[in-house]
Amino acid sequence: MSARQAEAGAPVRGAPRREITPGAVLPLLGFLLLAALFPFLPLGSRAEFLLQIAFFTLVAGIMALSWDILARSGQVSLAHAAFYGLGAYGYALLLKAGLPWLLAMPVAALLAGSVSLILGAVTMRLSGMYFAIATLAFTEVVRTIIQNLPESVAGGATGLLVPALLGGNSRAQYFLAWGLLAFTVLVSLAVRLTRLHFAFAAIRQGEETARVLGVSIVRFKLLAFFISSSLAALAGVLYAGKTFFINPLETFSLANSIAPLTTSIFGGLYTTLGPVLGATVLRVAEELLHNSVKNGYLVVYGLVLMLSILWLPRGLMGLRRNKKHGGDL
């Protein structure tokens, strides 16, 4: 294969085939349709509570899918909490500066994406655990900087109040989260169905091989970082606008870096439906366990998650592959 063919998107040996089948598309469309109909279901007296759980499930789906897009280029990052937090703080500070929320949201995402290019450039030569440790350290650096800014600017360690998104209307907030998840799905499909997919897969299989094939390692790795981090920042904006309050300790917590990783693995790496499905199943399971095992439910949740990953090395999407339901998007 020539370098020109690789750049043009010709399949790389060992990479998944690019194909669209009804078996791959219908579950994805079905999930988005069911999620859109959820607020119209007869939810009873707990409607507000259930809508809130569904909202944060959509946010978790955005985070997991954004992490998976970066992982497709072979970069296992622990910096997602940093970009999630930068999105939340960027949105809050832009609102404070007088920008309307509709403008503050994409600007905050683009700013976080721009910061990710710096991290990507600095860590370009690292891989494996060295890359993961560097990204984890980056999260701590960002958290420390935000925490030590003057209280009049970012609230310091105490935190910052954020105006309620869409006037606090929970149904409108839900549909905004649904729209951003649908946008993230479209971005993921765009990556999956274009030459980006083959470039990312080639880098993931080995940078030397990708370089021989003519793939620009620097360009595609930075692009993966920018896309992934911008989407994670949008999830942070939703979080800030929903909770009305953010602080460095919670917003930049290690859990916000680990959760998208485990969710993607549980759902199925390098797919679009897998991380979204994983976020839904894990979020519902967490709530059910919280209600049935009030003391120590996180221990049970962790064990269930660990055993699930051991038994399903390809995640939930592995079940679909075993049943030959067509190619996975």
Mean pLDDT of 139-149: 94
Give the pLDDT score at 20: 62
pLDDT tens per residue, range 179-236: 999 999 999 999 998 999 999 999 999 988 889 888 999 999 999 999 999 999 999 9
Looking at per-residue pLDDT, the higher value among 20 and 324 belongs to 20
Q: Which of 16-25, 134-143, 207-216 has the lowest mean pLDDT?
A: 16-25
Model confidence at 12, pLDDT cuts 50, 70, 90, reads very low
d(CA 82, CA 229): 9
Q: Which residues are registered as beta bridge partners of 245?
A: 161
Give the pLDDT score at 7: 41
Give the pLDDT score at 18: 55
d(CA 275, CA 141): 28
Give the pLDDT score at 236: 97
Burial string for 17-31 (b: 16+ CB within 10 Å, else e) reads: eeeeeeebbebbeeb
Kindly report the number of other CB atoms within 10 A of residue 248's CB atom.
24
d(CA 93, CA 85): 12
Looking at per-residue pLDDT, the higher value among 303 and 165 belongs to 165
Mean pLDDT of 260-268: 91
Residue 324's SS3 state is coil
Q: Which of 271, 195, 281, 267 is nearest to 23 (CA)?
A: 271
pLDDT tens per residue, range 32-47: 999 999 999 998 888 8
Task: Calculate what percentage of the chain has a pLDDT beyond 90.
Answer: 64
Give the pLDDT score at 5: 44
d(CA 227, CA 290): 34
Q: How much is the mean pLDDT over the chain?
A: 88
pLDDT tens per residue, range 50-103: 999 999 999 999 999 999 999 999 999 999 999 999 999 999 999 999 999 999
Give the pLDDT score at 6: 42
Give the pLDDT score at 322: 57
Model confidence at 23, pLDDT cuts 50, 70, 90, reads low
Looking at per-residue pLDDT, the higher value among 4 and 21 belongs to 21
Looking at per-residue pLDDT, the higher value among 329 and 129 belongs to 129
50 Rama sector, left if φ>0, alpha if ψ -120 to 50, beta otherwise? alpha
Task: Calculate what percentage of the chain has a pLDDT beyond 70.
Answer: 88
Model confidence at 10, pLDDT cuts 50, 70, 90, reads very low
The answer to whether residue 240 scores a pLDDT higher than 60 is yes
Give the pLDDT score at 27: 87
Kindly report the number of other CB atoms within 10 A of residue 329's CB atom.
22
